[in-house]
Amino acid sequence: MEETGTETGGQDMGGQHPGHRRHCIREKQDRQGQGAGVKNSLRSGARMVFRLEPVLFISLFSVLLLALLLQIRGARQSIGTVRQNHWNLVRNVRVRVGTGKNASWKKVTLPETIGNLPGGTTVTVSFRLQSDGSSMLFLNPVYSPVDIYADDKLIYSYGTQGTWPSYMPDPPTGAFSVKLPAHRDEHLLHVELVYTSPKSRSSLVLHSMVTGSGDAVLRYLFERYGYSWVSSLLFIIAGIIMCGLSLFYITFERHGLRLALPGLLIVLAGMWEFSENTMSVYLMHRPVLLYILGFTGMYAMLLPLIVFVQKFTKMEGSLFLSVLRWILEAAVLGSLFLQLAGVVPFTRSLYLFHVLLPAVLILIAVYMLYLGIRKKNRPAIAMFLAILVLAVAAVLELLNYYFVFTERNSILFQNGLQLFCLIILVFGCVEVRRNMELRYRNLELAHDIEMLEQSVEIQKERGRVLTAYESEIRRQRHDLRHHLRYLRQLLQDGKDKEAAAYIESLDQAIPAGTVTRYCENSMVNAVISYYAALAHSDQIRMEVSVRIPAVNPHISDTHLCVILGNLLENAEEACRRMKEGEQWVRLRTKVHGEQLFISMDNSCGGTVQPQDGRYLSSKRSGEGIGLRSVRSLAKAHGGSAEFSSGDNWFRSEICVRL
């Protein structure tokens, strides 16, 4: 008793109109959509990061450049009034080692290193110069006390016993200026510096000394040490900014913490360079603090590097890198403990780190090369280049320490660290961006799956309602023959009024509509019937010509219902938004072998323009959930989904494997 056609309409069971049921289902979709608010926020945040990422890193370099310009400008302003002032290097220096009769004077040119000295040896430095009573003498003693005499009168002492902590055998490196008294008219001022050689090393370093006004001394320091000093400050600023950026990134991507590791490395390296810079010691007047910070920064700076290498190359489980980290951690903690206990000062454990740090860098570089070539680990190649630069710089700095190519401490390692940071910053940003893109795609996929599950549940509910509706009609039509027999009996008995009343009750119980059989698949048929009834109630002309088998081994009925349900819902919604013109929907399917081809055209208001090949939703930002679900399902079932539009029409073409 089933009829076949292209249109259907009528009331739902229980007297509910299709429009009311549509409203209820949409309310359910809205409530479910609210549950994805957090994920939508994460996707929005990730998009914001992608848009802001160039701005963030351009801002980072701009801050560094601005800091550099401000430091140079400020330094020039502070010494700009002394351009006419002049500082003079102390020359014609004589040195005497010891105090006995056998001690003799000899001329030297500063800087000079006097070796093979027992700890506590007295070394006297003597020279003569002019002084008008306003001249300053700049000194830079290295781990050695010194008494300064002018014309045999003590005018200043540095590093006397009790002025530094007891756990240090020698005073820290100092940098200061001493005001010289005026010399007698007929004589130059005679200056003697009495040093006591360090107990922690067998040599005494005599740096260059200069005289002049206080501003002239400052100008000398800036010209000689200003580059390293400003660079160390920029390192600290850049490291702090990188750590801050990592906290920003970690909001959207947990791997953003990786950016904090090179940032910590840069901070420690900058702390080391700043603390041992002569200009820092001169300006801060905190030599003990700078001594501790300098050695701690130098010893510990490779620890975050090793952890960063492990995470960047995804080798957290590498025994080789873990052993290197454990050795370095033990060396850092051991040297710190021995220094604070007064057993082995940093100036002696330094020799261990002179070997350990370059060796660790070389070993890491070789291991990265092995991973890149043998294990095809692409991040390891980038890390090899960066570590190689740092290892070469460390070796050059070690050679400079013993052979003194330049007096500027750590300048070679500093240049290598700058190149290292540039390489790491570039590859680190690429890595963080790649991880964030992957995270963003995972969020999109999770959202698609969630929306798909919601659509499946809605389509299942629609299918259950419509299947029950169809079953009820079949049951009532099956019972119709019994009702007819009873009516015939009433008429034969002449009970016309009873027969009329019975007919009236039947008319109220049987649904007014008809059920159209569109295809052999009952669930798909129920979905099409549902939307056909909605189209009829909204006065939308709907043409349906479909063929879908009852059993399909490669795609479930649920997924077919999701595809067709989303297409029909979008089509009818587009029709309802039209303000003028005919509203129509045309659905066609064709089976060719194992492939099902779905073609659907519908009217719409104006021309829908895609963005980046995707049609955006009219209800929310981004691509429509329905079209995205259709595209995902088609791709998952070995097919494709194409959408196009023209003047007042929209077309969907889907292919899936049955």
Comparing CA positions, the residue from 342, 382, 377 lying closest to residue 365 is 382
**Most confidently predicted of 50-59, 131-140, 465-474:** 131-140
Is 622 found in the same domain as 473? Answer: yes
Taking alpha carbons only, the member of 255, 249, 259, 263 closest to residue 50 is: 249
CATH code for position 124: 2.60.120.260
12 against 579, higher pLDDT: 579
Residues 583 and 451 in one domain: yes
Alpha-carbon distance of 620 to 193, in angstroms, equals 80
* Per-residue model confidence (pLDDT) at position 19: 46
Query: Which of 379, 339, 386 is CA-nearest to residue 255?
Result: 379
Task: Check residues 594 and 406 and name the one with the higher pLDDT.
Answer: 594
**Which tens digits make up the pLDDT trace of 511-540?**
555 557 889 888 888 888 888 888 988 899
pLDDT of residue 459: 62
Residue 498's pLDDT band (cuts 50, 70, 90): confident
Query: Measured between alpha carbons, how far apart are the two ends of the chain, in Å?
Result: 30
What is the pLDDT at residue 54?
52
In 3D space, the residue among 578, 583, 586 whose CA is nearest the CA of residue 605 turns out to be: 578
Q: Are strands 584-592 and 153-158 parallel, antiparallel or unpaired?
A: unpaired
Say if residue 151's pLDDT is above 60.
yes
pLDDT exceeds 90 at position 253: no
Q: Does residue 287 fall inside a structural domain?
A: yes
- Residue 155 domain-assigned? yes
Instruction: For CA atoms 501, 506, 509, 511, give the dihedral sign.
Output: negative
Number of domains in the chain: 3
Residue 326 is assigned to a structural domain of this protein: no
Domain end (from 299, 329, 350): 299
* pLDDT value of residue 589: 95
Tell me what the mean pLDDT of segment 150-172 comes to. 91
| AA letter at 485 | R
**Per-residue pLDDT band at 461 (split at 50, 70, 90):** low
Question: At residue 606, does pLDDT exceed 50?
Answer: yes
- What's the pTM? 0.61
Same domain assignment for residues 495 and 625: yes
Is residue 343 in some structural domain?
A: no
Tell me what pLDDT residue 170 has: 92
pLDDT at 325 over 90: yes
pLDDT value at residue 466: 67
Count other C-beta atoms under 10 Å from residue 285's C-beta.
11
Measured CA to CA, the distance from residue 491 to residue 488 in angstroms comes to 5
Q: Do 138 and 26 fall into the same domain?
A: no
Q: How far apart are CA 587 and CA 570, in angstroms?
A: 13
Alpha-carbon distance of 406 to 385, in angstroms, equals 26
Domain finish residue from 212, 236, 254? 212
Q: What is the mean pLDDT of the chain?
A: 79
| 442 pLDDT more than 50 | yes
Give yes or no for residue 58 having a pLDDT over 70: no
What pLDDT is stored for residue 444 in this prediction?
65
Same structural domain, 63 and 114: no
Cα 650 to chain centroid distance, Å, stands at 41
pLDDT in tens, 288-304: 999 999 999 989 988 99
pLDDT at residue 174, as a whole number: 93
d(CA 233, CA 272) in angstroms, rounded, equals 11
Let me know if residue 3 belongs to a domain.
no
DSSP notation for 72-133 = HHHHHHHHGGGTT---EE--SEEEEESSSTT--EEEE-SSEEE-S--TT-EEEEEEEE---S
Judge if 143 and 79 occupy the same domain.
no
Which of 283, 299, 315 is where one domain is finished?
Answer: 299
Query: What whole-number distance in Å separates Cα of residue 576 and Cα of residue 531?
Result: 13
Q: What residue numbers bound the domain in which 73 lies?
A: 53-84+226-299
CATH number of domain containing 629: 3.30.565.10
Residue 220 has pLDDT above 60, yes or no: yes
Amino acid at 445: L
Residue 325 lies in a domain: no
Say if 570 falls within a structural domain: yes
Shared domain check, 607 and 465: yes
pLDDT at 57 over 70: no
Q: Can you read off the two tokens belonging to residue 639?
A: 């097919």
Q: DSSP secondary-structure letter at 622?
A: S
Question: CA-to-CA distance for 625 and 26, rounded, in angstroms?
Answer: 14
Share of the chain above pLDDT 70, in %: 75
Same domain, yes or no: 529 and 450: yes
Residue 249 in any domain: the answer is: yes
603 shares a domain with 496: yes
Same domain, 264 and 165: no
In terms of domains, do 566 and 613 share one?
A: yes
Asked if 624 contacts 593 with a C-beta cutoff of 8 angstroms, the reply is: no
Q: Looking at the structure, tell me whether residues 233 and 200 fall in a common domain.
A: no
What are the DSSP E strand ranges found in 485-583?
541-545
Indicate the Cα dihedral angle 233, 235, 239, 244, nearest 10°.
50
